[in-house]
Amino acid sequence: MAVIMPDTSCKTYFIKLDYYNIFDISAGRDISACSFISFIKNLPELHSAIKSSIIEIESLINILSNDMLQKNNDVQLLLEKLYNMLKDNKLYINKDELLSESFINEYLSTFLNAAENNTVLEYIINYKMLLKNIMPLFLLEQDIITETMLLLDKLAVIYKNIDDTLLFEEASYIIMNEINNLSIDLPKKEIAVTGILESRNVDYDVLFIPYMTEDLFPPKNAKDLFINTEIRSQFKLPTFIDRENLMKNYLYQLMDNAKFTIISYSENSSGVRRSSFIEELAVKNHLTALKYAPKTISLIQEDKYFYPKDMELSIEKNDKIIQYLKDFSYSASNLNVYIACPFKFYLQYVLGIQEKTEPAENIDNKVFGTVLHNVLKILFDRKISAADKNYLEEFQSEFIKQIKSYDAYLYKNVEQFITSIIYNDIPKIAAAEKAHIKNGYEEINRELSINVKFNNFKIKGIIDKIEKYKNDIIVTDYKYKNDDKVKAVKNNDFEKAEDIQLPLYALLIDKEMGKLPADLFYFILKEKFEYKHGFDIEFYDDFKDYLSSVLNDIVDINKPFEQTKVYKKCDYCPYISVCGRENGFFNK
């Protein structure tokens, strides 16, 4: 969606009113947002310090305090050493001591030992070697680093036959200036706020054009006051009519490619009136304006209804369906579907109508959750514990290996940038796991598949993690969601529960191991990175009664598959077009 400003000065209002940071008000971003750029731009300063044989420790810490760099063990050790030196009141480290450090020696020594005077070509070669050396440290930005190296190749052609020598600092300024002119695609928020000219050659599904008043659109130019339109025409100078038609053309292109366009304006007794462009649109397209009473405007509606359907859909059960349902294997996921909407359960699990599958053009939360599940399982199978020294390194390495199986990551800089955010959160996941082990929890299995019988029904599930705590069994389910989206099952009010997964896990453990888990946790894999209590086991018997009633309802021939009465559950349902509810207005 885009908010198109008739006058770019209107952006100021959106910036002031964007309390929740939902608008993308940038006109594009450059390469300076990349981690490796923030690192290498400080290296000329370090090069100068090396030549003076003493280096200020605080400035060195600032250079090494890069999120991606700090995943390297040698960097961690060097930073720890530097902080200890500061504690001992040492302000400087000498050249020889620094160059002997493993990280500096392996990745930066060639660059830092570059001659003080040389040709630009030689310095370009030094920068290329630097980028090649540090690429393993910035795995998530390797495509952008490769593109930067290609830029340096082009720059080398320009300076190939120039033999003049420059100081290192002068040549670095030239090279970094060229690099900083590179632009990259970075993720933007869902709502772009942009001017008309900035939005050229970009398509949006939804357009909102506010402030469409005559004083703002068509745009006025003070130069029109000095040379009138007739004289401009005679001398073939652009007139205000030319500019007006040009701006209209840009807007028409945007609107033709959009699925939906909303134009708003306000009028008052002081002479502010809607733009003549709206008059033109209204005549051309037979549009009518929607009037809103100023005292009753509401941007958020909670009450929802659907029309024109007068009758809700329901499917009667027959003997064949009942037999199928009795032989069916029930899991937390399909039971959650039935509890939310029996009609959806019928479509998905009885008729077998599956959601439309498409190549993953974007890496969403579901993908990241799957990848993290896989990584945690692989580390367990390889007997790598969170208490091991190399756990973080192995975790990050396996994460990159897993995410590379998605083309969306391999070929899109935007997805690589988003992935880098997740990558930088892995130390927090590892720290939470390590603290959990220190508290006495011992993992005994991950991704354990269990199949049991309950009241002659087949129940199945895959439990993310099973642990021992003293003599107790502990169950954990991973959730790649924000903390406020993960709702614990409260007391025995299961009908209001959004997810019965943990209570069902308690049943699986009880039937499989003959012992109830002492506690059931959610492990939040984003935002807070903590274990969260999910279900109180004292309500286990109540859950069995509730589960029994749900299963009996499913196989009750007198209870048809009906649509849910809770309409908010329909908003993002993939089956909404099948049941007909997509044809209704959601907002009154």
pLDDT of residue 232: 57
The DSSP letter of residue 108 is I
Task: Read off the tokens for 16.
Answer: 């002031």
Is residue 212 very low, low, confident or very high in pLDDT (cuts 50, 70, 90)? confident
Choose the weakest-confidence range: 6-15, 203-212, 528-537: 6-15
Task: Please write the tens of the pLDDT for every residue from 117-145.
Answer: 999 999 999 999 999 999 988 887 787 88
Rounded to the nearest 10 degrees, how much is the dihedral formed by the CA atoms of 473, 479, 482, 488? -50
pLDDT tens figures, 104-119: 888 988 888 888 899 9
Which of the pair, 203 or 349, is modelled with greater confidence?
Answer: 349
Q: What is the pLDDT of residue 308?
A: 42
Per-residue pLDDT for 358 more than 80?
no
Q: CA-based angle 394:399:405, to the nearest 5? A: 135
The two structure tokens encoding residue 185:
């695609």
pLDDT attached to residue 236: 61
Question: Token match 């064949």: residue?
Answer: 320
Q: Is 156 exposed, middle or buried (0-12, 13-18, 19+ CB in 10 A)?
A: middle
How confident is the model at residue 522, as a pLDDT? 92
Q: How far, in Å, are 2, 272, 297, 561 from residue 212 at the CA level? A: 15, 10, 19, 50
Contact 371, 402 (CB under 8 A): yes
Q: Residue range 168-196: average pLDDT? A: 76
| Spatial separation of the C-alpha atoms in residues 265 and 285, rounded to whole Å | 18
Please, are residues 2 and 199 in contact by the beta-carbon 8 Å criterion?
Answer: yes
Question: Which pLDDT tens digit goes with each residue over 218-259?
Answer: 766 655 555 555 555 555 665 666 667 777 777 888 888 888
- 542: phi then psi, degrees, rounded to nearest 5: -65, -35
Distance CA(315)–CA(560), nearest Å, equals 5
What CA–CA distance (Å, rounded) separates 35 from 243? 42
pLDDT in tens, 279-298: 777 777 666 655 544 444 33
pLDDT at position 298 is: 38
| Three-state SS annotation for 443-472 | EEEEEEEEEEEECCEEEEEEEEEEEEECCE
- Which of 105, 116, 132, 208 lies closest to 169, judged by CA? 116
Task: Please give the pLDDT value at position 260.
Answer: 82
- Per the model's pLDDT, the better-predicted residue between 91 and 163 turns out to be 163
Higher pLDDT, 67 or 105: 105
Name the band, by pLDDT with cuts 50, 70 and 90, for residue 27: very low
Look at residue 587 in the predicted model and tell me its pLDDT: 32
End-to-end C-alpha distance for the chain, whole angstroms: 22
Average pLDDT, the chain: 81
pLDDT at 322: 94
Q: Region 160-176: what's the mean pLDDT?
A: 89
Residue 586's pLDDT band (boundaries 50, 70, 90)? Answer: very low
Gyration radius (Cα) of the chain, Å: 31
Tokens 């006025």, residue located: 220
Least confident of 14-28, 159-173, 237-251: 14-28
- Mean pLDDT over 492-520 rounds to 91
Q: Which two tokens stand for residue 288?
A: 């009518």
Average pLDDT over residues 468-477: 92
**pLDDT at residue 505 greater than cutoff 90:** yes
Q: What is the pLDDT of residues 393-414, one digit of tens each?
A: 999 999 999 998 887 787 677 8
Q: How far is CA 460 from CA 6, 416, 445, 454, 513, in A?
A: 58, 36, 17, 10, 14
Phi/psi region, residue 572 (left: phi>0; alpha: psi -120 to 50; beta: rest), is alpha
Q: Are 537 and 548 in contact (CB under 8 A)?
A: no
